[in-house]
Amino acid sequence: MIHRKTRWALAEWEESGEGAAEKLSKGLSLPPLVARLLVQRGYRDEESARTFLYGDESGLHDPYLLSGMKEAVERIRLAGVRQEKIRIYGDYDADGVSSTSLLVHVFRSMGLNFDYYIPHRALEGYGLNEKAIALAASEGVTLIVTVDTGISAYDEIEYAKTHGIDVVITDHHEPPDRLPQASAVVNPKQGHCSYPFKGLAGVGVAFKLATALMERPPLEWADIVSLGTIADLMPLVDENRILVRYGLQRMRKEPGMGFRALAEATGIELPTIVSTGIAFGMAPRINAAGRLDHAKRAVELLTTPEYDEAILIAIQLDTLNKERQRIVETIVKEAEEQWLTKRLASEDQGIDPPSVIVLSGEGWNVGVIGIVASKLLERHYRPVIILGIDAETGKCKGSARSIEGFDLHAALTECEALMDHYGGHQAAAGMTLHRDHLESLEQRMSQLAKQWLTGEDWIPKTHVDIECGLEDATLDTITQLSLLEPFGIGNRSPRILFQSIQLADRRAIGKESKHLKLSLGGGRKLLDAIGFGMGEMASSMPAGSRLDIVGELSINEWNNQRKPQLQLHDLHYMPTPLSSFPSREQFGQVYQWLRGVKRAPEQGLTMRIAGQVSLTVEAVQLMLDVFEELKFIGRHDGAYVAATAPEKRELASSERYRAAKEQHDRLHDLA
């Protein structure tokens, strides 16, 4: 028996959806599975589906629909006329770096007098600060344009005014109740802003400003926009989908100098890059600059026109990322040791371990603790808070990650008396507090988790898009699934459920047999499936059994051949009890047949033997497992091979035989 590791949440399917899917399939010449997925995601008519699949720059909204855009453009253009010195003020993450880099290109093309500034993560922290403003004033800056930051900087804006500096804010974070009194505030999430799409990244808002300034969408820099949008986990729908699609196309065909250098330094294949290549290949290296050094290095990469400079920076960022990985591994190891100690202490006291993991350490790099929190969340599936402690002051800076159903921001609000500062949302948050309050924070957060969560909430959930059959898993269908790309937040790669699908064959593959390869289906129609890290399951399910499987459809290309493939996420197998346990004579009959053929290919063998000797495939698989355990047969190059001179052993000496016999007898007695 193999139990599913997660809760499967199959999206609801209304009967009316079938008719809508049929119309889409015919009207847009789409495979039925693709049409059903479109309906499932809310695109029920041809117009909306066509816009989603093929939307271009005509689908981008008028930037002047953003409140404050007119004032922002007028103030920047006035600065250009006056030759004022402008400073772009960004953030140190990939979205902030992308936003800053985009405006560097735009202001450069406009011939403005400008420079840029990004605060140091460890020394200055997030957002506008008074020292940076005073520095700008001393250097003759009269206009600051923020990107990906500024919406909460009320006091800092007032301070800038005392130094004769105007500020234009462009941001996408949640606005506070009291908005800064800046020259212009551009943020689609402002309550009074009627902009039709609220999901822009910081770089997306900067792109709208650029569009207004240049009086056209500057799609030549869509690659930079796609980087920040994907890295900041923005929903890939509406404008984001259009911008990321253009950005990926540009990376594949005409990548900017920085992207060319980064790809060369890291082995990323730009001609075939997809959104995951940005998310897991490029974004971590861009972020590494701000985590371990200074984010200006990443801006230099994305704005330099010189190849020699770009490749040097790309190599430096790749090296920083490797160092970041090493630091993360070290902190994860120390954190796991702390967590084990806490769990053992709880066991000694006869109590449950904390429901929320709160771990801290002196010297833990605050630039990577969010990554550490994510890794522990993945391993233990409970809310996690990781904090770095300043040994001199006792101040702790923390990052938190949560499971579905536990609202971190709401929980931290309940604990606000313990903290100096906090912010975030349901799934992720940050905070600062003194180390003396850590124990109280752990206790209170754990109490809230116990109050708010049910037993089921502690089990990871897999969201399944749709159920389909083997007939849907064709090369043409899988190829056209790419029309739904780019995949990411808000538009994930479809997760498909196959129920009660027959297992034709299974085996462990790869180094140390770590991975699982399945052949699914009956007859001539088969679908290969690969489960990474699932190799130990191969011996737990006999060929011919029925499985429930969740995975993602893809195409496996090998030796110029293209075949459908399913990448496994989770599976469930419940063995079918033998209705009739095979007799010793039947065991002997099958064994003699195997000795006669000498070499029997595994593919389809159980069904072949079952048909010849009138047994179920489960019974035949039991026999093969018993023979293999007793070393009567072995496996070599995908085939069963009878031993030349096997040692004489009784069937009952096989553990597999005894277990199956006991299960059969017990069920027979109950009947």
Q: What is the CATH number of the domain that holds 619?
A: 1.10.10
Q: Does residue 218 sit in the same domain as residue 300?
A: yes
Q: Does residue 252 sit in the same domain as residue 143?
A: yes
- The verdict on residue 521 lying in a domain is yes
- The verdict on residue 512 lying in a domain is yes
pLDDT tens for residues 399-422? 999 999 999 989 999 999 999 988
- The verdict on residue 531 lying in a domain is yes
Helix, strand, coil fractions of the chain, as percent rounded to 5: 50, 20, 30
- The proportion of the chain whose per-residue pLDDT surpasses 70, expressed as a percent, equals 98
172 versus 425: the higher-pLDDT residue is 172
Query: Average pLDDT in the 536-561 region?
Result: 87
- The verdict on residue 499 lying in a domain is yes
- Binned at pLDDT 50, 70 and 90, residue 550 comes out as very high
Question: CB within 8 A of 454, min separation 6: which ones?
Answer: none
Distances (CA, A) of 539 to 418, 502, 569: 52, 16, 18
Q: What is the CATH number of the domain that holds 36?
A: 2.40.50.460
Query: Average pLDDT in the 350-371 region?
Result: 94
Q: What is the pLDDT, as a whole number, of residue 577? A: 64
Q: What is the pLDDT, as a whole number, of residue 629? A: 87
- The verdict on residue 337 lying in a domain is no
Q: Does residue 132 sit in the same domain as residue 110?
A: yes
Q: Does residue 127 sit in the same domain as residue 215?
A: yes
Domain count along the chain:
4
Query: Average pLDDT in the 601-618 region?
Result: 78
Q: Does residue 523 sit in the same domain as residue 591?
A: no
Q: Does residue 115 sit in the same domain as residue 212?
A: yes
Closest CA to 31 of 481, 380, 608, 444: 481
Q: What is the pLDDT, as a whole number, of residue 13? A: 86
pLDDT tens for residues 202-211? 999 999 999 9
Range of the domain at 372: 354-459
| Phi and psi, residue 136, nearest 5° | -60, -45
Closest CA to 473 of 546, 554, 545: 554
pLDDT tens for residues 437-491? 999 999 999 999 999 999 889 999 999 999 998 999 999 999 999 999 999 999 9
pLDDT at 671 over 60: no
Distances (CA, A) of 388 to 396, 401, 411: 5, 15, 20
Q: Does residue 444 sit in the same domain as residue 306?
A: no
- The verdict on residue 204 lying in a domain is yes
Question: CB within 8 A of 593, min separation 6: which ones?
Answer: 609, 612, 613
Q: Does residue 261 sit in the same domain as residue 156?
A: yes
- Binned at pLDDT 50, 70 and 90, residue 606 comes out as confident
- The proportion of the chain whose per-residue pLDDT surpasses 90, expressed as a percent, equals 75
Query: Average pLDDT in the 617-637 region?
Result: 86
Closest CA to 189 of 427, 405, 425: 425
* Mean pLDDT over the full length of the chain: 92
pLDDT at 274 over 60: yes
Q: What is the pLDDT, as a whole number, of residue 576? A: 65
Closest CA to 534 of 547, 544, 523, 524: 547
The mean-pLDDT minimum among 12-16, 475-479, 516-520, 540-544 falls in 540-544
- The verdict on residue 363 lying in a domain is yes
pLDDT tens for residues 215-246? 999 999 999 999 999 999 999 999 999 999 99
- The verdict on residue 327 lying in a domain is no
pLDDT tens for residues 562-604? 999 999 999 998 766 676 788 999 999 999 999 988 888 876 7
